[in-house]
Amino acid sequence: MTVAISTKKLYKKYGSRFVLEDLSLNVEKGSIYGFLGRNGAGKTTTIKLLSGLSTPTQGQIFVDGMDMSSESGKIKQLLGLVPQDSGFYDERTALSHMIYYGRLKGLSKKESLEQSRNLLDQVGLGNEMFKKVAYFSHGMKTRLGIAQALLNKPEVLVLDEPTNGLDPVGIRQIRQILRECNNRGITIFLSSHNLLEVQEICTYVGILDKGKLIAESAIEKIRHLESNGVITIGVYNLSSEMISLIKSLEFVVKTELKAENTLDIFVNSRIDVKPEINRLIVESGGRVFKLIENSLSLEDAFLNATGMNL
């Protein structure tokens, strides 16, 4: 794969405490990479390192093949950052804000005006460009932050929890904007603790837990980390012997008793194993009243991977 961002054995220490340890991640060019982790896992710390706002205690960062330690200036040119709290000047209009940042990024007056107008249109703020930022909603500010990051045509867009605190309409707007950016070839790296969000938009996911990358993969594979489906079986006369028999099946990862006679069976198999489970129960004298299969959500995969549901 062609790599847009990679880190090699990255460590970050605050005081005597490591908040990132041995972090080696690879973001494929053209992908939408979801960087998933709980509060305090180290997502913002990583984003600051990737965008050159902070330096690692140890390890290396490469963006588009360039080493951050020696070429951070060039990297900053091709990377657009949307931090969690973009500092906007309340008294400026959206357009004057954009032009100001365009100039800071080295664009000429004309280029800056042209790009600013186009980008504000792209993020749905075309009709609000003469409004002061002070009157913007949280969602509008997030969209303005994205427009700002897109000035000077970055190849990679890095966003720190872009949908945090937004309502469903705001979330959908951001998702749409990011998809359009990605369709134009921009690689997207976004952090989130919202599993559904990541599942909805990302093609790749890395799961960060207490400063360590515990999984990184195409989203479909993460979903299949331990089990790729949950089969719920209801048996009128479910017994502990029947549960033991089910547990002994090769493709069964674990079981969870939901109610007196209902069992969730986490399976890892590419073929439909319901008939085999049904046969086993019936042959042991069980009277089955329900047998359904649900695919495992990313949340379940995440909880499995972090061991939080044990």
Ligand X SMILES: Nc1ncnc2c1ncn2[C@@H]1O[C@H](COP(=O)(O)OP(=O)(O)OP(=O)(O)O)[C@@H](O)[C@H]1O
Of 25, 36, 41, 253, the residue at the interface with ligand X (CB under 6 A) is 41
Tell me if 145 contacts ligand X by CB under 6 A.
no
What backbone torsions phi and psi does residue 102 show, to the nearest 5 degrees? -60, -45
Q: Which stretch binds ligand X (CB under 6 A): 38-46, 105-113, 126-134, 150-158?
A: 38-46
From residue 251, give the alpha-carbon distance in Å to each of 33, 130, 238, 248, 277.
30, 61, 20, 9, 11
Q: How far is the CB of 42 from ligand X (least distance, A)?
A: 4
What backbone torsions phi and psi does residue 256 show, to the nearest 5 degrees? -135, 125
**In DSSP terms, which residues pair with 213 in a beta bridge?**
208
Of 7, 32, 34, 42, the residue at the interface with ligand X (CB under 6 A) is 42
Tell me if 43 contacts ligand X by CB under 6 A.
yes
Tell me if 40 contacts ligand X by CB under 6 A.
yes
Tell me if 45 contacts ligand X by CB under 6 A.
yes
Q: How far is the CB of 206 from ligand X (least distance, A)?
A: 12
Tell me if 192 contacts ligand X by CB under 6 A.
no
Q: Quote the radius of gyration of the chain (alpha carbons, Å).
A: 24
Which candidate, 310, 148, 294, 139, places its Cα nearest to that of 229?
Answer: 294
Of 4, 19, 147, 219, the residue at the interface with ligand X (CB under 6 A) is 19
Tell me if 39 contacts ligand X by CB under 6 A.
yes
Letter for the amino acid at 120? Answer: L
Q: Are 151 and 79 in contact (CB under 8 A)?
A: no
Q: Are 293 and 230 in contact (CB under 8 A)?
A: yes
Which residues between 195 and 254 bind ligand X (CB under 6 A)? none
Q: How far is the CB of 281 from ligand X (least distance, A)?
A: 44
Rule CB under 6 A: which residues touch ligand X? 14, 19, 37, 39-45, 193
